[in-house]
Chain A
Amino acid sequence: MAAQTPGRGGVYLDYQSAKPVDPRVVEAMAPYFTERFGNPASLHGVGDDATATLDSARAKVAASIGALPEEIVFTSGATESSNLALLGYANRNRRAGDHILISEVDHISIHNIGKMLEKAGFRVGKVPPDQFGRIDPEKVRKRITPETILVSVGWASNEIGTVQPMAEIGEVVAGTGATLHSDAVAAQGQLPIDVSRTGVGMLTLSSNDIYGPQGVGALYIRNGVKVAPVAFGGGQEDGLRSGTENLAGIVGMAAAAEIMSRELPADAARMAALRDRLVREVLAAIPDAHLNGHPTERLPGNAHFRFEGVEGESLLLLMREEGISVATGSACSSKTLEPSHTLISCGLLHEEAHGSLEFTFGRWSKDSDVDSVLAVLPGIVDKLRRMSPLYNKH
């Protein structure tokens, strides 16, 4: 099959689920696949070189979020980072309390980790969002009890793009004795993230979401926050994450973080312009179309629509026929075809949630991608509506 390269082949508007690796990142990684392959734990010269590389990569990733190098633990990806943050923190701090708060609009992995925490005897509360998917800091404040040890709120929704008031939530959690964790994956590369200004104690980071390689991530753990490891072994990453370091992957993540810091303002402005045009023209061209998520407090690369009387799945397949890749629901639930828990939490009915389609822009998105969508989407929605018993009732 021909490669569907973003910027080269078909129209790829599903940057949220997986991103291509920036060619500059691949270039930075290349030597570490071949001539510089040492294991940092080995004592010989090849190993020394690897240790220096690891230290430098850690410093770069730390700098990109305003952290100190020793506050960064490399993992196999965001999912492992969140496992370490929630399970590792809860197990280590059990004596301080048994109550944990998560947000209803968090990523599915956080919800599944929450179930595991409940099995382990913790009480897990969920903070509901408003109709735009936004978490009100006051609702967090009201749910914090003396037994609350951890509050986890995703920086932004990976589905509907709503950005949370993290600084205000940080202020609410500060001084309660609880630690604030945030899954920042959806926000990375789209919003400036500075841990020194927000009061988060732990932050889940992905490499692929800043155009680095898959299979690498990091957890920021503020100095003083205590976490127990989830996997045991050789004691790498200060005992928190055993296993031979994925050096090429880590170098790639560091290179991606450097590029991201430099190019974020321009990237974000370009994505926002594309998004604004898409939202404006889709809502103008298609009747009974709505924007899900917050009208202004949203990720620059996210446009999430709901079309009355239409199945998102059918939309996705017809868009695919036209060479346009988009998403319905969340990345992790598109296999199960269940309606998105995020949309249901925002108060949508099942059939409304099913009529949703998510467009996400990235570094190589361009005006002609929006042209391609606008050329076919109104016709596809119209065609499906003419077959839909749901829409005929209108």
Chain B
Amino acid sequence: MAARAYLDHASSSPLRPIALEAMLPFLAEHPGDPARLHAEGRVTRVAVEEAREQVAGLFGARPREVVFTSGGTEAVNHAVWGGVRRAGVDGDIVTTAVEHSSVLDACRRERGDTTLVGVDRVGRFDPDEIIGALSDDTALVTVQLANHEVGTLQPVAAICTAARARDVLVHVDACAAAGHVPIDFAALGADLLSISAHKLGGPKGAGALLIRRGLRIPPLIIGGAQERERRGGLENVPAIVGFGAAAAELSTDGRLATEAAAARRITDTIVRGALAAVPGLVQYGDPDQRVPHLVCLGIEGVEAEPILLALDQHGVAVHSGSACSSEALEPSPVLEAMGADADRSLRASVGWSSTDDDATHLLDALPGIVTALRALRAP
């Protein structure tokens, strides 16, 4: 049987070999608590700080601006929880209808009157509409850098500038984009930015919240003095080291640009090939201004679930809706906000290990599956 085509990197990417190699010694040989003064503690402290520099380097941040977390969800929750408390005002949170569920749920916990700004047909929000929604007592603005389901890149820079000018804290959820497009935290001007390690080929169980220099927000996870008192709990040293190694690889020899170009080529092949071979198929999201590694297709007249299962039997892994709601297969709130058919989307996403053969594998299987499923529905 041919190798499987894994086209679901946006849910979780396999670990980069260089990251695994960096991690193994810290699993097997270096047990030290980085806060300790002894030799073992020094080894892990140096490793964590090196990883901090590597992550900071990839995202244009200062090392001290990097707070390691257990993942993207924790980073997002920390940003929303801590940002609102730091602001100390009773006003609303301004966000958008197409944010990841972790952002929306964290906002709803804080504020019943969270303002949700809508999007256009490709899932993009209008920066002017968000800026217009700000008031003097707005507690926080939280916007995504790119959409996790349809890939559309968002105009966040203008929002950061306007929010900073009005002294409103702004959080950027970069989990879907990080590692796939260049991100410069300093130039962007955000106060807070969330990153997930496993979506760029780092390990699961690690992420980072970038906190702009000079800004102090209370910690979400309370414990000891780790992470300069911004995140309690013994550092997950192996995962942090793996995250650093993955970031360093992306920073070296133009690797991010090379991988992005390959991702663009493969996803373009998927879109072009699918549109040509399957009638009644549309692309959701901005076909051009999108993250290079992710495309979303709508298939007229067939539910997503049977396609997903049939593709899986053919050795192709894709996704529908957002990763977290796929078990329930509820209609996607992102597609609903775009005015698209929320029940019939397929998301194909690639990553560092993807090849052109993965696209071929999908394109070989998809037309027959759609034809067969449509035939079942014929009267």
Contacts and interface: CB of A to CB of B under 8 A. Distances in A.
B partners with A: yes
A182 B221 CA distance: 18
Interface string B53-79: 000000000000000011111101100
B40 A244 contact: no
Interface in B2-41: 4, 6, 8, 11-15, 17, 20, 23-25, 27-33, 35-41
Contact of A39 (B8, B17, B309): B8
Interface in A193-249: 208, 213-216, 230-236, 242-249
A213 B238 contact: yes
Interface in A244-260: 244-249
Nearest to A252: B27
For B29, B43, B198, the residue with the greatest tally of chain A CB atoms inside 10 Å of its CB is B29
B368 interface: no
Contacts of A214: 234-239
A12 B203 contact: no
Interface in A115-155: 116
A45 B232 contact: no
A39 B11 contact: yes
Nearest to A35: B14
Contacts of B305: 43
In which size bucket is the chain B interface? 35 or more
Interface string A1-19: 1011110101010110111
Interface in A33-52: 33-35, 37-39, 41-47
A103 interface: no
A18 B234 contact: yes
B101 interface: yes
Contacts of B206: 215
Interface stretch (A56-64, A170-178, A319-327, A383-391): A319-327
A15 B31 CA distance: 8
A370 interface: no
Contact of A44 (B108, B232, B317): B317
Contacts of A323: 39
Contact of B27 (A26, A46, A82, A335): A26
B135 interface: no
Contact of A34 (B20, B25, B30, B46): B20
B232 A79 contact: yes
B377 interface: no
A76 B205 contact: yes
Contact of B29 (A20, A39, A248): A20
A21 interface: yes
A294 B239 CA distance: 37
Contacts of B105: 232-233, 242
B233 A20 contact: no
A29 interface: yes
A216 to B, nearest CB: 7
Contacts of A46: 4, 6, 8, 317
Interface string B279-290: 000000000000
Contact of A26 (B24, B42, B224): B24
Contacts of B217: none
A43 B319 contact: yes
Interface in B304-324: 305, 308-309, 311-312, 317-320, 322-324
A332 interface: yes
A192 interface: no
A79 B221 contact: yes
A109 B11 contact: no
A29 B27 contact: yes
A108 interface: yes
A246 B71 contact: yes
Contact of A243 (B14, B32, B35, B74): B74
Contact of A3 (B30, B226, B325): B30
Given A14-B38, A77-B236, A215 B205 contact: yes
A335 B225 contact: yes
Contact of B43 (A3, A80, A213): A3
A331 B31 CA distance: 13
B258 to A, nearest CB: 22
A285 interface: no
B366 interface: no
Contacts of A85: none
Contact of B205 (A8, A87, A249, A327): A249
Contacts of A17: 32-33, 35-36, 41, 234
Interface string B91-110: 00000000011100110110
Top 4 closest pairs, chain A to chain B, by CB: A215-B236, A234-B324, A233-B102, A76-B70
Given A42-B326, A83-B221, 12 more contacts: A17-B234, A20-B31, A26-B24, A35-B14, A37-B15, A46-B4, A46-B8, A79-B221, A112-B224, A232-B77, A233-B100, A244-B198
Interface of A: 1, 3-6, 8, 10, 12, 14-15, 17-21, 23, 26, 29, 33-35, 37-39, 41-47, 75-80, 82-83, 87, 108-109, 112-113, 116, 208, 213-216, 230-236, 242-249, 313, 316-317, 320, 323, 325-327, 331-336
20 contacts: A4-B40, A14-B36, A17-B36, A21-B31, A33-B23, A39-B11, A43-B320, A43-B327, A44-B8, A75-B70, A108-B223, A109-B224, A112-B224, A112-B232, A214-B235, A214-B237, A215-B236, A236-B324, A244-B71, A248-B204
